[in-house]
Structure 1
Amino acid sequence: MSEARTITVPWHIRIKAWWEGYDPEEYVEWRERGHEDGEPSDLPASIALPKMMSFDDLMADHSASGEVDDSELEFLEEAAPDPVWPRAKVEVTQRLFGRGFTGPGGPEHVIELVKSVGLDPVQSVLDLSMGLGGPDAAIADKYGVWVTGYERNPALFDIAGTVLRTIKSGDRVRLNFFDPETVELPRKKFDVVLSSETMHCVQDRIALIAKIYDSLKDWGQFMMSDFVLPNENPPSERLMKWLENRGEPVTLWTRDQYEVALSNQKFDVRFMKDESDDYVHLIRHDFAGFVETLNADKVVTDTPLGRAALVDVAEDWSRLASLLQKGELQLVRFLAMKPEET
């Protein structure tokens, strides 16, 4: 790229380039040469996933335009924001993944995942990773079940009550706040127990798995997905940096450790599936759709708190996608069944 030319990169293009690991100015030059729809081999040599831009770099060329609507309370300062889920981060995340969702894929993906457990309206479902309730409402709407949702983060739990009132079949989700380290679950009550990408935050997960086993009816099913280490080697430096930004204690297991823990509890492990590649695709797909409307969302881009939350969310998911893509971290889904007790 010629040093004599300075390119002003629009806000939404900077976000897109940053997310995809491009140098923003070189990305614009490449697009202007008419290669936007070219093959990957046409990309400039300097493009190599992942590259991370600092907050200052990201904001350097952004000029606010239009008026900010102060009625958008989600982007006002909080007196005591939650360390993991401040309100602004919750709102940006919902803009990224959809109303009621804190992760990628949306209702269609959730329905596809639970097909294998064969839900019907007479079954009872427990979700130990309710979040804002969007996935549970999607399950309730599709299968006509009632879902008991447990959430461990107080900020998400507080917001979920409001969110569920605005989502179809949200009234079929029963909200509960819980501490996974001390929770007591009712014995033999549920046909299906779900846990999605939260078990790595539980310190005594062996005890929790035992409680899940006891809470299931005979032939009940436990579907769990979680981030795991690919082997017994220490986490990479990049993975450690991502973990440090979690805002809470995290302990990663390997897939084998989960299999042993489930088997020791007498679960019949039906399958273990590495879904890392699919998850990366979902993240990038949802982010691409979000970027397309970013410039129109002035509440986010013209509000300092909103921009800061946007950078935090985009950086976090970009790092996660890169870790999964490079095999430094894996997302594995388990399905286990409780045999009939004699």
Structure 2
Amino acid sequence: MAVSLPLRTRLKAWWHGYDLEVIRRFKGFEPLENNHGVSFEAELQPWEKPELLVPQLIWGEGFLTPGGASRTAELVKPLGLDESMSVLDIGSHLGGQARLIARDFGSWVTGVETDPELTEVAKLMSEKEGLGKKALVHRFEPSSVEFRQNAFDVAVSTDALYRIEDKETLLSAVDEALKGRSQIMIADYVRDSDVADSTALDAWVKAEPGPVHLWTERDYRSLFTDLKFDLRICSDVTDTLRSTILASFSEYLKEAATSGVEDRLRETLVGEVERWMRLVAALDSGAVKALRLHAFRAQRSSLLSDW
């Protein structure tokens, strides 16, 4: 008789790079029962769906990518944000970054997200925190978006642009949306074209929930030059991000081993571990790097000649 392996065993196997054959067993929800003998199922909030809740348990409430609030705070620190500034957040996911900026710095944030479900859930989460107007997330199409011109002081994007194919068109539109004196901060994954072996890269791409379109560091440098931005920081933060991923999973798995994991979250958790361990392998191979970019423009160039 085949027996499905315990969650902890499967997680440990993926963590250490072993392959296990697992026979899945479906288990229905068990209704809750109160003191009056009436059975019912707890109503879940939209952000409590397994595919959204599991990443938040690992990275932090409102975040679907590594580092959560602490990483965002570190990334935006050089921007000098305050309550007088307006910020464009590109690829907002659940809006955790947008809400942190609005809450901690007082800035007005407009988030844009390609996924319609994430957009609606992000709106609900912002409203829940009383930030429905100050950290509002909109649905957008990267290849055809038109932002209000000269509307933002800063544009930020964390772990989102690697999913977008036509980055040049999008970032050109972002450039038009920024004021003359402005800043751009991007954290993204890039391809190292000097590494020929793409085995680990291909395995990571296969595990991603959507298409992956990687630029190189040279692509980013070239675009910022074309947009007349001064690229102040172009830093390889691969080692830091790798450590963040491993530390976050280690901490969560220790807690899960003690407190347990809801049955409804088990398969999603296993998939999440596999996905991020494949990214770690791709980072270790050198084919993929994590970049942090911070660009500054003192003033937009005028197209008018002096009379």
CA distance in 2, matches of 1:17, 1:264: 47
Structure 1, unmatched stretches of 5+, are 1-8, 22-50, 76-84
Q: Which moved further from structure 2: 116-125 or 171-180?
A: 171-180
Aligned residues: 289
Partner of 1:228: 190
- CA change 1:54–1:166 in 2 (3 A) is farther
Q: Is the 8 A contact 1:15 1:291 kept in 2?
A: no
Which residue of the other structure, out of 76, 98, 104, is the alignment partner of 1:114?
76
Alignment partner of 1:337 is 2:296: yes
Q: Is the 8 A contact 1:209 1:262 kept in 2?
A: no
Shift of 1:189: 0.9
CA distance in 2, matches of 1:144, 1:243: 37
Shift of 1:270: 1.2
Q: Which has the higher strand share?
A: 2
Partner of 1:71: 42
- CA change 1:203–1:171 in 2 (3 A) is same
CA distance in 2, matches of 1:264, 1:55: 51
- CA change 1:169–1:162 in 2 (3 A) is closer
Which residue identity lines up with residue 19 of structure 2 in the other structure? M
CA distance in 1, matches of 2:207, 2:66: 19
Shift of 1:235: 5.9
Partner of 2:281: 322
CA distance in 2, matches of 1:158, 1:169: 14
TM (norm. structure 1) is 0.76
Deviations 1:270-300 (A, max 9, x none): 11011111111111122122212324666x5
- CA change 1:143–1:86 in 2 (3 A) is closer
Structure 2, unmatched stretches of 5+, are 33-40, 303-307
- RMSD in angstroms over aligned alpha carbons? 2.9
CA distance in 2, matches of 1:166, 1:295: 31
- CA change 1:297–1:180 in 2 (3 A) is farther
Alignment partner of 1:18 is 2:13: yes
CA distance in 1, matches of 2:10, 2:67: 21
Which residue identity lines up with residue 338 of structure 1 in the other structure? R
CA distance in 2, matches of 1:296, 1:68: 23
Partner of 1:179: 141
Q: Is the 8 A contact 2:123 2:136 kept in 1?
A: no
Shift of 1:238: 2.0
Which residue identity lines up with residue 201 of structure 2 in the other structure? L
5 Å matches for 1:1-342?
A: 11-12=7-8, 14-15=9-10, 17-21=12-16, 51-54=17-20, 56=22, 70-71=41-42, 73=44, 87-167=49-129, 169=131, 172-233=134-195, 236-295=198-257, 300-303=261-264, 306-340=265-299, 341-342=301-302
- CA change 1:86–1:265 in 2 (3 A) is farther
Give 3-state SS (helix, strand or coil) of 1:292's partner: helix
CA distance in 2, matches of 1:168, 1:290: 29
CA distance in 2, matches of 1:328, 1:283: 18
CA distance in 2, matches of 1:245, 1:68: 33
- CA change 1:244–1:283 in 2 (3 A) is same
Shift of 1:310: 1.1
Q: Is the 8 A contact 1:295 1:301 kept in 2?
A: no
Which residue identity lines up with residue 316 of structure 1 in the other structure? R
